[in-house]
Amino acid sequence: MIDTTIVGRELTSEVITLERSRLRLFARLLGYPADGVHRDLAAAGAAGHPDLVVPPTYLAGLETETEAIYRTLEDVGVDLATVLNGEQHFTHHRTLHAGDQIVFVTRITDVYARSEGRLEFLVRDTAVTRDGELVAELRNVIVVVHREAA
């Protein structure tokens, strides 16, 4: 069983700079047009943006690079081989651009079980800030699958 005393635990990442080359690659892999605001600097400028626009789901992948979730799962003894992504939700308050520096502040907000303890759910809410201003909120529900009831 996941120790429910981790509810309320907060983890803060280091400052992360959104890199133009990585944004272009991500947008390309997701099929964004080569002449669009996510891949083309001239198109972004023509649309009034100071640099390439960050694709909406980019933050979810970038957050995993902070290793906050891995540290949390290790701390409570969860084997990564038993983990599934149950839910992902994004709320964007401001547009992010290449060159912006952001910080992820992740809080564990709930832990609960279902199916007689065979499934446990760990809920993480993350605030993304730029210069102290909230720019996005992420919610991730991690499912831990047990072969037998916990």
**What domains sit in the chain, N to C, each tagged with a CATH number?**
4-18+66-145 (3.10.129.10), 19-53 (no CATH)
Question: Exposed, middle or buried, 77 (CB in 10 Å: 0-12/13-18/19+)?
Answer: exposed
- What is the model's pTM? 0.88
- The tokens of 92 are what? 């964007």
Contact 112, 119 (CB under 8 A): no
pLDDT by residue for the chain (150 residues), tens only, comes to 888 999 999 988 889 999 999 999 999 999 999 999 999 999 999 999 999 999 989 998 888 888 777 888 888 888 889 999 999 999 999 999 999 999 999 999 999 999 998 999 999 999 999 999 999 999 999 999 998 765
- At 64 the pLDDT is 82
Contact 17, 100 (CB under 8 A): yes
